[in-house]
């Protein structure tokens, strides 16, 4: 796979010297073009009510360009009802269901404080818990009137305006005729789009063509919603291949009667041992921090390592480039979307009577972090701030109002005039009397907020709660791999998949002593993954380069997920054959042909777990503030516990009496004792830094259980920061 991406079926309105296509955008033939399209991901939400058979789809696009050039065409199987949704709803869904690693801090292993040997006894090093538990991831076209034909054999089925969009739904009988109609109405595309258009026409599809309304800016773009009867989910990637760049990120969330499974694509599970974990500053200091689920243990930080996207892409490549990761699959009732608007916010807005009162409201605690594009979109039509602030957007105007309210209220520097520059040649100036004189209908604002944010969230929440399962699948794919449209079905017997993948880490002091500079220490860490093992690594950020894991597969498993039964594991050598064999799979039929003979894959076994470290080296006397205790000598082993006339400290089994290795360190029994996270039958077993290692009465697992990836493996499988995308879903007609 490659790296960069362009849109799925994003068509730009026809402009001079530009050529764009169904399935993506094309490099303009002339350097005179002043804007380009930027789109590297797509989000889709697919819901189907099994009782009413009503299918609802949300799709979202991220676009960078001129508003007059924006166009969007979506093929669907039946005449839909077209509406708009809220980006905030999709963000709330991502917050709950995006895959993330839950990194648990555990007690340090074999770490003693050098000040134990000092009369002063200064405790300047951590003595339990290892690293700071709070560390995280460093984280419009001109359509014909009415129904009938649009000319040249293209039939206009419906048209109208919804939110910031003008739309028209058309149907054609021949690709060339439809191609000419779209091109003539502002949607340019290359000749190679014609056979793909014809394939949709042959399936009976209709096409929804969308433009921004006159006067609407790019910032007004919102998700489009489509409702129609009785359809299966499918993403038309073949259209994307016409003009997509190097890589497209696809996230599809599907609610239905069971766990959603890709019919004509494989499924992979990511190998955590190829991730770059690091405790200082998070997952290698630059990952994406995500919220941990409610009820997570203290000291857990959740997020994605910096190399997550690269690892996911490479894992999918190991499955022939045509595979999904099941990031989460939860019972519908367990998907609880966080409230976008708090009840107090409706009350606050309803009491507003003028613009100054609104500005003061925005400074209240309930509004911290709530100034979002969605909020501005909801309130903008009622506020009509363009008349007062013609040079800035509604969102910027709301932020300026809040800043000025804080300025007016500041007893140290406030005043009657507030001037904000916003990087513009002409500043924005506000006075208290000016703002007080601008009347605002608070009740109308509260209703707009409810209609645009509160109600959509509640509607989606109710739909999800009424389904048996909600599944989130993700993939990264290159144009050359887009030779089929992903189709999905459901398997009600497959287990749930939690979005969090547990990983535990604790610091390991290989010398037996905390390093002199804890914040920049160069010692080791123990990384433990339930079901795989526990290893001491020098630097967890370089885990992918560790010789024990550098050649490990990126995909822990490659599988076919059928609509019944357990997953079918696919051996690496069989991947090309299986990818070809399932290309034509359809819902209601097995994906794998009955006569296909497959090898039995050998499970990948990671390196054996490392035993507990339990040794001590000569005492490194602190360089300041230390008067040695009796029998404590810099560079010599500490006195054994119970030595007459000496001030000795029991060091958790390392009593100074063990054999001494070549480096002068004594080993109390480095090969004995349970391994944290692996030998504990009921979960993690802490390795105490100053006392004896805790023990568990449960029998230790077998070697196969310690090493085999099949034993207690994390179930097969998240866009933190705003992931706007074109999520284009082609809905297949369900068989009669």
Cβ-based neighbour number of residue 546 at 10 Å: 18
Strand pairing report for 533-537 and 555-560: unpaired
- Give the pLDDT score at 152: 60
Chunk the chain into consecutive blocks of 10 residues (it has 736) and report each block's average pLDDT, rounded to whole numbers: 34 31 27 40 86 88 72 84 92 92 88 87 47 35 45 84 91 90 79 85 89 80 88 77 74 95 97 78 62 80 90 96 97 92 91 94 90 89 84 87 88 74 74 90 94 93 94 92 92 96 89 65 78 85 81 95 97 96 94 94 90 89 88 91 76 38 40 44 37 33 31 30 31 42
- Give the pLDDT score at 619: 92
Backbone angles phi and psi of 402, in degrees to 5 = -65, -45
- The span from the CA of 210 to the CA of 367, in Å, is 34
- Give the pLDDT score at 148: 57
- The span from the CA of 514 to the CA of 122, in Å, is 13
What's the token pair of residue 306?
């910096």
* 387 Cβ contact list (under 8 Å, min separation 6): none
User: 218 by DSSP, 3-state: which?
Assistant: helix
Alpha helices per DSSP H over 660-714: 703-707
Which of 125, 479, 99 lies closest to 302, judged by CA? 99
- Give the pLDDT score at 323: 97
What's the token pair of residue 73?
């065409």
- Give the pLDDT score at 203: 86
DSSP labels for 598-635? ---PPPP-PPPPPPPP-EE-S----SSS--BPTT--TT
Which of 8, 152, 34, 100 lies closest to 472, judged by CA? 100
- The span from the CA of 683 to the CA of 709, in Å, is 17
- Give the pLDDT score at 264: 96
Cβ-based neighbour number of residue 634 at 10 Å: 14
pTM, rounded to two decimals: 0.78
Alpha carbon 416 to chain centroid distance?
45
- The span from the CA of 651 to the CA of 662, in Å, is 21
Residue 474 to residues 252, 363, 541, Cα–Cα distance (Å)? 6, 38, 24
- Give the pLDDT score at 726: 30
What's the token pair of residue 325?
């990761």
């Amino acid at each position: 796979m490659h790296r960069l991406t362009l849109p799925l079926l994003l068509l730009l309105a026809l402009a001079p010297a530009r050529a764009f296509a169904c399935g993506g955008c094309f490099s303009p033939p002339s350097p005179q073009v002043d804007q380009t399209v930027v789109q590297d991901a797509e989000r889709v939400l697919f819901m189907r009510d099994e009782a009413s058979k009503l299918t609802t789809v949300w799709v979202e696009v991220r676009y960078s360009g001129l508003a007059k050039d924006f166009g969007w065409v979506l093929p669907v199987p039946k005449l839909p009802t077209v509406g708009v949704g809220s980006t905030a709803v999709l963000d709330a869904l991502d917050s709950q269901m995006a895959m993330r690693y839950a990194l648990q801090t555990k007690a340090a292993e074999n770490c003693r404080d050098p000040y134990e040997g000092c009369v002063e006894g200064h405790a300047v090093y951590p003595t339990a818990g290892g690293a700071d538990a709070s560390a995280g991831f460093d984280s419009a076209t001109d359509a014909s009137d009415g129904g009938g034909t649009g000319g040249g054999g293209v039939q206009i089925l419906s048209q109208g305006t919804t939110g910031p969009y003008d739309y028209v739904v058309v149907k054609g009988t021949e690709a060339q005729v439809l191609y000419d109609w779209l091109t003539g109405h502002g949607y340019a595309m290359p000749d190679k789009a014609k056979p793909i258009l014809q394939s949709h026409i042959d399936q009976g599809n209709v096409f929804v063509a969308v433009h921004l309304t006159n006067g609407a800016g790019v910032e007004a773009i919102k998700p489009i919603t489509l409702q129609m009867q009785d359809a299966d989910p499918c993403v038309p990637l073949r259209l994307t291949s016409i003009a997509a760049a190097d890589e497209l990120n696809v996230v599809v969330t599907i609610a239905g009667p069971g766990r959603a499974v890709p019919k004509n694509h494989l499924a992979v599970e990511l190998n955590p041992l190829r991730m770059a974990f690091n405790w200082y500053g998070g997952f290698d200091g630059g990952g994406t921090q995500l919220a941990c689920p409610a009820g997570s243990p203290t000291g857990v930080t959740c997020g994605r390592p910096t190399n997550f996207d690269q690892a996911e892409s490479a894992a999918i490549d190991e499955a022939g480039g045509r595979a999904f990761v099941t990031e989460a699959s939860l019972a519908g009732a367990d998907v609880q979307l966080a409230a976008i608007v708090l009840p107090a916010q409706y009350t606050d807005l309803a009491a507003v009577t003028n613009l100054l009162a609104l500005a003061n409201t925005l400074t209240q605690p309930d509004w911290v972090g709530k100034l979002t594009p969605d909020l501005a979109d909801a309130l903008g039509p009622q506020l009509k701030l363009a008349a007062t602030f013609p040079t800035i957007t509604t969102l910027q105007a709301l932020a300026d109002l809040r800043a000025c309210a804080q300025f007016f209220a500041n007893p140290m520097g406030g005043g009657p005039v507030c001037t904000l520059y916003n990087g513009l040649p002409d500043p924005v100036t506000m006075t208290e009397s000016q703002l007080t004189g601008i009347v605002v209908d608070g009740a109308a604002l509260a209703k707009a907020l409810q209609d645009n944010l509160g109600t959509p969230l509640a509607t989606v929440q109710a739909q999800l709660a009424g389904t048996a399962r909600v599944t989130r699948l993700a993939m990264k794919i290159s144009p050359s791999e887009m030779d089929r449209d992903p189709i999905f079905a459901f398997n009600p017997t497959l287990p749930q998949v939690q979005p969090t993948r547990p990983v535990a880490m604790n610091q390991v002091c290989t010398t037996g002593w905390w390093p002199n500079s804890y914040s920049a220490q160069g010692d080791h860490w123990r990384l433990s993954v339930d079901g795989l093992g526990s290893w001491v690594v020098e630097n967890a950020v370089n885990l992918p380069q560790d010789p024990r894991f550098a050649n490990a597969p990126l995909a822990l498993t490659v599988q076919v997920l059928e609509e019944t039964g357990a997953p079918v594991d696919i051996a690496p050598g069989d991947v090309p054959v299986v990818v070809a064999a399932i290309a034509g799979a359809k819902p209601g039929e097995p994906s794998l042909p009955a006569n296909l003979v497959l090898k039995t894959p050998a499970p990948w076994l990671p390196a054996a777990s490392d035993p507990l470290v339990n040794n001590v080296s000569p005492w490194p006397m602190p360089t300041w503030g230390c008067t040695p205790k009796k029998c404590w000598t810099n560079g010599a082993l500490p006195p054994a516990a119970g030595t007459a006339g000496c001030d000795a400290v029991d060091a958790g089994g390392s009593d100074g009496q063990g054999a001494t290795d070549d480096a002068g360190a004594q080993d109390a029994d480095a090969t004995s004792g349970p391994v944290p996270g692996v030998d504990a039958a009921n979960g993690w077993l802490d390795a105490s830094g100053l006392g004896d290692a805790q023990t568990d009465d449960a029998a230790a697992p077998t070697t196969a259980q310690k090493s085999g990836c099949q034993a207690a493996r994390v179930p097969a499988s998240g866009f933190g920061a705003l992931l706007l995308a074109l999520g284009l879903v082609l809905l297949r007609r369900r068989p009669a």
